Amino acid sequence: ESQNIMSGILDAAFHALFVINEHCIIQMVNAKSCEVFGWNKEEFIGKNINMIMPTHVAVHHDQYMKQYLETGLKKMIGTQREVTAQRKDGSTFPCVLGLSETQQSGLICGFIRDLTEEKAHQAAILEKQLAAENLSKELQANQNIIMGILDAAFHALFVINEKCIIQMVNKKSCEVFGWTQEEFIGKNINLIMPDHVAVNHNHYMKHYLETGVKNMIGTQREVTARRKDGSTFPCILGLSETQQSGMICGFIRD
């Protein structure tokens, strides 16, 4: 009865369990072992534990066990490490092996946790990360190309979002207005407007977003712009809206 109780407890374990003697002969296995490896309990009991090892590992296992018994040198007892195991059908899989020695009987107990799904999940995450990194590099390369083209433009260029915040400027903008690209990015576009125009700009943008009425989008008109030093100058402003991102692009010709 106690044997049945013990067997029931072991069969409830989440991971495969093997109990072997000093000759590496399997004395006990649980139901999970049969599920993971493909042999039934009757096929396991009385066999050498090296039956669940790839050939290149199995040939050395008995020698390790002999050395352990003769010297007491424990290379894996009391530790956990990642190893490769072999199923009945010959296929192999990664797993974590944890070994412990029973105090009185001298039997060795090994728990095996299958890492197949975990490794597949890790590989999927890594693949996504690599794809994201490649996409990021591609986007950065494309952005560098675009910026190279925009920097070659004769006129100042500003790209703003729906909140009037500057997302991109070209070199000509810095040359014309006096601010650096770092000073421009993240600032409100009214930075380059005289005060009497700046106070109304956000209201116009809000009106445009709420109604879709475009007073200046798609047009060109003469306006007054302001430099970093406070001086103003007349210029032609042309505005267009990007189709997908909702960004607004403005070219300014002094």
pLDDT 10s digits, 168-181: 899 999 999 999 99
Structure confidence at residue 57 as a pLDDT band (50, 70, 90): confident
* pLDDT above 70: residue 110: yes
Q: Print burial letters for 30-53: b (CB count within 10 Å at least 16), e (below 16).
A: bbbbbebbebeeeebeeebbbebb
How much of the chain exceeds pLDDT 90, in percent? Answer: 41
Tokens describing residue 51: 């039956």
pLDDT at site 214? 60
For residue 111, what is the enclosing H or E element?
strand 108-114
- Three-state DSSP class for residue 120: helix
Give the model's pLDDT for residue 245: 66
d(CA 94, CA 60): 19
111 vs 239: CA distance, rounded Å: 69
Predicted confidence at residue 61, as pLDDT, reads: 81
**How many helices, marked H, and strands, marked E, lie in the chain?**
8, 10
pTM for the model stands at 0.51
pLDDT at 77 over 90: no
26: pLDDT strictly greater than 70: yes
Confidence of residue 84 (pLDDT cuts 50, 70, 90): very high
Find the mean pLDDT for residues 100-115.
84
What is the residue-averaged pLDDT of the chain?
A: 85
Report d(CA 154, CA 175) in Å as an integer.
11
Tokens of 72: 């007491």
Handedness of CA 175, 177, 180, 181 (dihedral sign): negative
Please list the alpha-helical segments (H only) found in the chain. 2-11, 31-37, 41-44, 55-71, 116-151, 171-177, 181-184, 195-211
Contacts of 91 (CB under 8 A, 6+ apart): none
Which range (30-44, 66-80, 84-98, 235-249) has the least confidence? 66-80
Q: Give residue-wise pLDDT tens across range 195-226.
A: 988 888 877 777 777 776 566 677 788 999 99
